[in-house]
Amino acid sequence: MEYYIIMNTIVKLNYKKTLLACYLGFITQAIAANFTPLLFLKLHKDFQIPLGMIALIPTAFFFTQLLVDIFCAKYVDRIGYRVSIVASEIFSAVGLICLAFLPKILPSAYVGIMISVVLYAIGSGLIEVLCSPIVEACPFENKEATMSLLHSFYCWGWVGVTLISTLLFTLIGIDKWPIVACFWAIIPLYNIYNFATCPIEHLVDEGKGMTILQLFKLPLFWVAVVLMVCSGASEISMAQWASAFVESGLGFSKTVCDLVGPCLFGITMGICRVFYGKFGEKVDLSKFMIGSGVLCLICYLLASLSRNPIVALFGCIMCGFSVGIMWPGTLSISSKKIPTGGTAMFAMLAMAGDLGGSIGPSTVGMISQKAGDNLQQGLFFGGIFPIVLVVFLVILKLMKEADKQ
């Protein structure tokens, strides 16, 4: 019995290494998504790249992630989790290092930048799809809370890469940004070893995971897809305009606003995920998600209807807290209710979230433009996303109660 306890402790310690690797994986994803946007104006100035072409960089990033989501749904189970997740760190590190050198080496700086973006976007996409099922497969007691805490590390990575990069630009000069890019590559390079040596389990046995067509036949899967689309749309639509609210509400310079707005949004989102990670055992996930959905709708109404810029800013920032549980919560419920969903399910849900993150901001932007560049009117229309979110969360709860009966 004593031997069993000792061995069980060793196993738990090993899985803690798996968890650490996944934490660093999400930090790597945050670096990939948020470092280059800090350089947009610098790249525009140094390499004479038109702003219209600069704007295509995030499009290329998210489009690449969508393609990776599709690839993962079909092939990752055949390739294997370990090979794929180690590859994610290699692609991320190589992409960041290439960003430091290719723009100055290749005849076209823009081509060098886009090659780098595609490389680390491949890594980011693999991380997004694989880290969640890897953690879900670990023998932790409260998986919903563990999943929420895991996803909080994207938030802390987002805040960290923004603040630390800005600090380094201040200390050594923004002209030395290639050094900063190489500095951030250290994290995925180190994490290659973690993923290569930590225990990695599969959610389902080889060959027993559901196919995409089988998933399409499940009503619960489609409810989860709608939740992911609306979560991504609600989150990114508001986060994208956080800077504008700080600028109009507090009168800071645009540079300060670009830092303060997104950072405050990321902090509140991270706090929500840590809160559920710590107290998840005492909180009903479905009720917490419904309450968060209602709060999200209130935040959108505050941001879009209030004539007081401080109140509007408060609604914008608190929206980060309200959407924090949606992504990890939906993944946890889906995994619990569809235990044989496997990698295909996680990949399709990740793709749905990315799709929402693309549709939401563009919709808000188009409505704002048609309303004479009135951002608040655009966000008022964007309130449709949290409304649909709440409706489908109620449907999900009713489906869960029906299963119990």
Global pTM reads: 0.85
Q: Is 339 within 8 Å of 203 (Cβ atoms)?
A: yes
| pLDDT, average across residues 140-160 | 89
22 vs 386 pLDDT, higher one: 22
Cα–chain center distance at 220? 22
**Where do the H-state alpha helices sit in 137-253?**
143-172, 177-197, 212-216, 219-240, 242-250
Backbone torsions φ then ψ of 282, nearest 5 degrees: -100, 0
| 278 and 387 in a common domain | yes
For residue 7, pLDDT over 80 is answered with no
- Which residue segment(s) compose the domain that 358 sits in? 204-399
Cα–chain center distance at 64? 15
What DSSP character marks residue 217? Answer: T
| 84 and 164 in a common domain | yes
Residue 285: the pLDDT is: 84
Residue-wise DSSP of 45-92: HHH---HHHHTHHHHHHHHHHHHHHHHHHHHHHHH-HHHHHHHHHHHH
| 1 and 87 in a common domain | yes
Residue 246: the pLDDT is: 65
| 12 and 100 in a common domain | yes
- For the stretch 99-134, pLDDT in tens is 999 999 999 999 999 999 999 999 999 999 999 999
| 12 and 116 in a common domain | yes
| 195 and 95 in a common domain | yes
Q: Domain with 313 in it: what CATH number?
A: 1.20.1250.20
| 239 and 191 in a common domain | no
Band of residue 62 on the pLDDT scale cut at 50, 70, 90: confident
**Does any domain span residue 272?**
yes
Residue 83: the pLDDT is: 95
Q: Please tell me the total count of domains within the chain.
A: 2
Residue-wise DSSP of 137-152: TS--S-HHHHHHHHHH
**Does any domain span residue 405?**
no
Q: What is the CA radius of gyration of the chain?
A: 21
293 vs 3 pLDDT, higher one: 293
Q: Measure the CA–CA gap between 365 and 188, rounded to whole angstroms.
A: 34
| 252 and 129 in a common domain | no
Residue 337: the pLDDT is: 85
| 78 and 136 in a common domain | yes
| 330 and 191 in a common domain | no
**Does any domain span residue 404?**
no
Residue 202: the pLDDT is: 80
Q: Measure the CA–CA gap between 58 and 36, rounded to whole angstroms.
A: 9
Domain C-terminal end among 172, 202, 232: 202
Domain C-terminal end among 175, 202, 229: 202
Count the helix, strand and coil residues of the chain and give each as a percent rounded to the nearest 5.
85, 0, 15
Residue 208: the pLDDT is: 65
Domain C-terminal end among 181, 202, 223: 202
| 310 and 270 in a common domain | yes
| 214 and 175 in a common domain | no
Residue 108: the pLDDT is: 93
Which of 356, 234, 387, 382 has the alpha carbon at shortest distance from 304?
A: 382
**Does any domain span residue 123?**
yes
